Amino acid sequence: MSHAKLAAPPALADGALRIVALGGLGEIGRNMTVFEYDGQLLIVDCGVLFPEDDQPGVDLILPDFGPIEDRLDDVVAVILTHGHEDHIGALPYLLRLRADLPVVGSRLTLAFVEAKLREHRLSPAVQVVADREQVALGPFAVEFLAVNHSIPDAMAVAIRTPAGLVLHTGDFKMDQLPLDSRITDLNGFARLGDEGVDVLLVDSTNAEVPGFVTSERDIMPVLDAVFLRAEGRVIVASFASHVHRIQQIIDMAALHGRKVAFVGRSMVRNMGIARDLGYLRIPGGVLVAADDLPSLPDDEAVLICTGSQGEPMAVLSRIANRDHPISVGDGDTIVLASSLIPGNENAVNRVVNGLARLGAHVVHKGNALVHVSGHAAAGELRYVYNIVKPRNVLPVHGEWRHLRANAEIAASVGISPDRIVQAEDGTVLDLVDGVLSVVGQVPVGYVYVDVSSVGAATETALKDRRVLGEEGFISIFVAVDIVDEKIVAGPEIHARGFGDAVLEPLREQVVRAMEAALADGLDDTHDLQQRIRRAAGKWVNSTHRRRPMIVPVVIEA
């Protein structure tokens, strides 16, 4: 439920634990949760959200660091549950505010992070942790538990304080046959449940999906069939962090006598890291450089690239737009090996249609089992609730419908509804005497990364961009003689997004409005500009059903 009208929270009571999400509630992305105890802060995850079509010019969206910006010296560490961008992507921007923040995570997670941070010229202190390891971070005693996800080395986090025990699942599922044989530590979850979990923060992404998520291994026969049918090249688009899926593609390429090339900077970087650390196994002679692709017969080539979400600058989008050295045509097979992130539907459809127009056969989750989710479905969530037996539940990581569905699952297994808290970004929750309750709200919003600026783009600026893109632009220049009450130059009109036929009738409307205003004795250029804007806007709207951006300029001769 919305808590936007709540007042600011009171000071944290002695012995209480405070929880505030600065992102990740009501959305898929920007995951960042702050825990406070005894004046110290612990941050779990620091991710980004990718922009949608109605946010033109925006590259990334960050959590709002405002509520903790003046308390960064109180932060004892940033824990990263796994290496996906919606959990690690905003870390460089947080470290710009305090470069020595300790960063804690698994080996692969921190390897991905350190490669990213080198691009930002940042080198914080990092601490690698392993499954079942326990560390002290200020007043927080933290234990890490293995969870299965669509990236290796994902972890859940148990946080112990005198106020109580919190279990944050991170992103997880319960695949019993994972490719790396590293299953979710249900034994550890049950042990914590026996100890007494006061708050369970639990992944909600697939709460609307019944049953259990399909095993990763079930994809292999489908991929085998795709490779058998492929007459030309096979081009696979995936997240650059999806090591498991890329391992499956490599194994299938080796089985069918094909060579593999990684294409795209982030793909090459991440797969190099995964291979060096032993998370990705590539048989000898299978991997080739992208530059060697032209010398390979089409039926022996596999390209693995980025762009499964229709990102405009990713490799696959550029191929679809014929803006890449790699081209596709009849006989080529494209595999989109990832789930569709909500909001990316239009972008992905454009890419699929573009590739199909070029003659390629496109395989995606909608027409073949080429991807399974990395998030627990309803049956898995119910299982976790039953073994953990939490006193309080806070659904996290999901849009509002996912959070509500997760809350309903918790209630269905007997957890009291008054112990299930549905919060939004900025909602302040305190754990006192075993009870989690809402105590206030802190202001949070979207922080936009726009080319090289952070936070400079505002909602007003985005609205202007949407108007420019959808409704058009009209500039009107007029010079007037206030004393003689007449127009001495213009109106000169320039329009974008309209045909030339609009200019002459609009000029007549502007002249009529200006003559009336001068006759009424208006002698302030700002007032005259407003009169032009209203007259032009009314005419364009009534005639063309458009609301363009209108910029009038009136100067006094």
Q: Are residues 47 and 24 in the same domain?
A: yes
SS3 helix, strand, coil % of the chain, rounded to 5? 35, 25, 40
On whether both 130 and 22 belong to a single domain, the answer is: yes
Quick check: 537 and 509 in contact, CB under 8 A? no
Query: Do residues 38 and 186 both lie within one domain?
Result: yes
Is 4 within the bounds of a domain? no
User: Which CATH number fits the domain that encloses residue 72?
Assistant: 3.60.15.10
297 inside domain: yes
User: Percent of the chain, pLDDT > 70?
Assistant: 88
Which tens digits make up the pLDDT trace of 382-410?
999 999 999 999 999 999 999 999 999 99
Q: What is the pLDDT of residues 209-249, one digit of tens each?
A: 999 999 989 989 999 999 999 999 898 888 888 899 999 99
The domain spanning residue 488 has which CATH number? Answer: 3.10.20.580
Q: Provide mean pLDDT across the span 475-487.
A: 75
Q: What is the CATH number of the domain that holds 245?
A: 3.40.50.10710
For residue 8, is it within any domain? Answer: no
Count the neighbouring beta carbons within 10 Å of the beta carbon of residue 11: 6
Task: List the one residue out of 378, 397, 387 whose CA is nearest residue 168.
Answer: 397
Who's near 488: CB < 8 A, 6+ residues apart?
A: 479, 480, 481, 557
**Last residue of one domain, picked from the residues 399, 427, 454:** 454
Q: Which two tokens stand for residue 396?
A: 């996290």
> Are residues 280 and 169 part of one domain?
no
Assess whether 506 and 429 both reside in one domain: no
CA distance 101 to 242: 27
For residue range 50-84, what is the model confidence (pLDDT) as tens digits? 765 555 456 678 899 999 999 999 999 999 999 99
- pLDDT of 112 reads 93
Looking at the structure, tell me whether residues 195 and 250 fall in a common domain. no
133 and 201 in one domain? yes
pLDDT at 75: 97
Question: Is residue 263 domain-resident?
Answer: yes
pLDDT at 256 over 70: yes
- Each residue of 24-55: pLDDT tens digit? 999 988 999 999 999 999 999 999 887 655 55
- Given a contact cutoff of 8 angstroms between Cβ atoms, the answer to whether 342 and 28 are in contact is yes
Residues 79 and 131 in one domain: yes
Claim to verify: residue 60 and residue 188 sit in the same structural domain: yes
Residue 110 and residue 41 share a domain:
yes
pLDDT score recorded for residue 425: 95
Residues of 498-533 as b/e, b for ≥16 C-beta within 10 angstroms? Answer: beeebeeebbebbeebbeebbeeebeebeebbebbb
Q: Is residue 12 part of a domain?
A: no
Examine residue 120 and state whether it is found in any structural domain, yes or no.
Answer: yes
Q: Is residue 431 located within the same domain as residue 492?
A: no
Average pLDDT, integer, range 181-190: 96
pLDDT at 4 (0 to 100): 59
Q: Is residue 461 assigned to a domain? A: no
Q: Are 71 and 113 in the same domain?
A: yes
Triad 416, 422, 423: Cα angle to 5°: 145
Question: How many independent structural domains does the chain possess?
Answer: 3
- Structural domain containing residue 433: 17-211+373-454
Q: pLDDT tens digits, residue range 504-513? A: 677 777 777 7
d(C-alpha 418, C-alpha 262), whole Å: 51
Q: What per-residue confidence (pLDDT) applies to 447? A: 82
